[in-house]
Structure 1
């Protein structure tokens, strides 16, 4: 991985004198954290890297340096119009990162007074939600998703639970029909992977959300979209669409990853199982630990130097792109010399970034994850991994690392009696074979000491909330 790539036609060269590592491709995607540590050992807190198209950038690896970049927009702006490669024509319109680096009238791509105006519309609209009401939505949809597999005694907690739950809740919160959800999630995830179809997915999301905005201007409701378009800042349709997309994409990917990673941890990590059985960790504690160790976004695009400057002794030129290394910063030896020491209860991680562009919806994401997982563990207290831990697989992109599947087994149970209709898309067509479920009928595990112990530490996990 430590080769000096030959720049592609039309692409800028790596920073002078610095061989750069690609942050895309099979090697980088196989072990992103391993690559970050290799870069840290070679370069320190700031490393030269290449993104798609072999475009140069700086990956910020240090915790302190990430905070410096995130908190000083005067030096490192969020506005991509500063990007020198963009100005020089090195970023074609169909570039995989265009959906995330092309300037749009959105709060995360502007600074100063305009940023305050646009972000205020988001934060004040989000603040109108009743948190107890959000948790009721989460509980209802979580129960419906669990109902779809509770009688089978087996499930894939990624496909059957972690991915659809945030989508169902957020489509409800923005006032969209539930049928919007599955395709929106698919397109949103495709966008942030930087695939060849990312631009087409970006267009689909834009058209879908524009239709929603237009509908809410005519028929308002008690939802985020209505509050956004009715906000005193008088957002135009383009601005409303951009901010809806921002909120939805962030909520889908980050919350799904947070749920999946937390469930994997409590199913597989003996260190935390011991703490849980001893009553020393609650579910919110577990969520915070995961936000340290496996943040939903490992890397965040992007910041651009507003002038020639220096970061951790590294000269940065005006127009250079910087990537916030959230995952790398969270394991910086300067702040975590011993990664085996739990840090739950400490919220100084970088999972939601920092500074003026810190994630405004992080409390809603935590509420979805916390309530959803609590509902699952209450309903299915004897969950256990159905495969060996080393059989679990991940897919990685420039921004995130995503657990492919989390197959589990448990004692089959009946559905809840809620009187609610099934979740759209929660069940599979009869002809489709579930990814992780064998065709033969499920067997009911025999109750024993191991199950009783598991039930005990699940109940301790849910306790002391």
Structure 2
């Protein structure tokens, strides 16, 4: 006889706690595995243990042993995302929030506190808020953004190219997204070390997170007031002037949401792609051999190391069944991005090249799918290509085993990525990146499509002969357009 499925919102714990002296690690109330603490330092391994024990939807414990469901299956995650009639992002529906089990001091409260944002709204209110965000995003000049990404990359590389060494996390991956977002928002003068540090600190729930949030909100509130008084052709002005007529508070709060999510996800994406290019011979060989373009490499990284590994959370609006488990009204669920991406039913071979397949969960899905994902892809595509064009001989400056990560429930962040390369002079940030001379190129490092060497013209008579007009082929024109040149 099959035991009654566990329901975090109920009291029918069918799994007994381990007996005294049992060597089980990471086991809490009801015999459930914890997603926090020293026992969960490798959440990927915890997810696979849960998959083996429970299947595609598994019961687990958050901080303070608050029960939660973890959705591990790709299909089950997509069903949850695409069924707003059953599952909502409104944290006020969560049973432990309603009955006081989750205290205001809970470590995950920054992710759980309800706010009047499109990410927490549903129905008509969601359509109103999301419509304003989508409308403002539709006004972004993507070609102009690509040109800015290229120039910003040159500016950042100029800061360290003469030294012959750099940390591509703190000096590049954590800075490029903020430079680009400040430009898109219409506040390029606000870009500085302080806003980068605050954006990295705010989601962590550290002792300084409140101060960091206050700093960013001050910047965005002042920006909103300036653009309300004097609109310009930027994202902020279009958000303010959208027909839905958001209030100043709604504008500044949505700017904060977009800024932090876009920054955190893109910084992680850049670091992950660069790490794999520097350390994985298989990955690099596919780039070198033409089997994979830089955009395809970015998509592959979003399968293997998604910028956000999990999202908390979704909440059951009514009793439902998911992955063979009985989900009760008020239950909370975690969107399992990383475990869903390695669901063996979708990826029986996790080492296989996904060939640009975009059905990963990295940008969520359904009504709350990331609206700015094309900007994130552009920052990674153009930034990685431009960096490696400037530094074609860059190589890891430490053993791969010495690399370290900071892991939380929401993401796995590379701490540092030290590289070394031949020192080279700075470059005009307004000029297109100079490709290295053929004698300086490394045959094991070609990322961009190799340019054909010019063929010397045949000798001609002294009589003036008009030179033939050299026309770019379709591929060269496409390549220039993609790079924003």
- Provide the secondary structure at the position in 1 that maps to 2:447: helix
1:194-219 per-position Cα deviation (integer Å, ceiling 9, x unaligned)? 34544454444334322221222123
**Map of 2:127 onto structure 1:** 116
The separation in 2 between residues aligned to 1:131 and 1:16, in whole angstroms, is 52
2:451, 2:294 → 1: CA distance? Answer: 6
Write the distance in 2 (CA, Å) between the matches of 1:15 and 1:209: 47
The DSSP-based 3-state class of the residue aligned with 1:372 is: helix
Question: For residues 126-141 of structure 1, what are the structure 2 equivalents within 5 Å?
Answer: 126-141=137-152
Q: What is aligned with 1:7?
A: none
Structure 1 residue runs of 5 or longer lacking an equivalent are 1-10, 421-446
The residue correspondences of 1:286-365 to structure 2 (distance < 5 A) are 286-365=297-376
Q: Verify the 8 A CA contact 1:155 1:408 in the aligned structure 2.
A: yes
> How far apart, in 1, do the equivalents of 2:206 and 2:336 lie?
21
Task: Report the more deviating stretch, 214-223 or 254-263.
Answer: 214-223
Residue in 1 that maps onto 2:94 = 83
Alpha carbons of structure 1 residues 109 and 462: separation in structure 2 relative to 1, 3 Å: farther
Residue from 16, 27, 50 that aligns with 2:39 = 27
- Counterpart in 1 of 2:18? none
Within 1, Cα distance between the matches of 2:425 and 2:100?
Answer: 60
Change (3 A) 1:375 1:14: farther
Counterparts in 2 of 1:22-421, with a 5 A limit?
22-28=34-40, 30-418=41-429
Selected match of 2:444 from 431, 454, 457: 454
SS in 2 for 1:59: strand
Give deviations 1:385-406, integer Å, cap 9, x for gaps.
1111111111111100000111
CA RMSD of aligned residues (A): 2.4
* TM-superposed deviation, 1:233: 0.3
Find the aligned partners of 1:300 and 1:188 in 2 and give their Cα distance. Answer: 18
SS of the residue corresponding to residue 365 of structure 1 reads helix
Contact in 2 for aligned 1:302/1:322 (Cα 8 Å): yes
Paired with 2:370 and 2:11, the residues of 1 have a C-alpha distance of 31
Deviations 1:246-292 (A, max 9, x none): 11011111101111100111111121122222211110110000000
1:16 aligns with 2:13: yes
Could you tell me how far 1:192 is from its partner in structure 2? 2.6
Structure having the higher Rg: 2
Q: Distance in 2 between matches of 1:336 and 1:408?
A: 32
Deviation larger for 196-205 or 207-216: 196-205
Q: 1:448 to 1:48 in 2, by over 3 A?
A: farther
The change in CA–CA distance for 1:184 and 1:87 in structure 2 (over 3 A counts) is farther
TM-score w.r.t. structure 2 length?
0.83
Pick closer, same or farther for the CA change 1:205–1:452 going to 2, 3 Å.
closer
Give the Cα separation in 2 of the matches to 1:274 and 1:148. Answer: 29
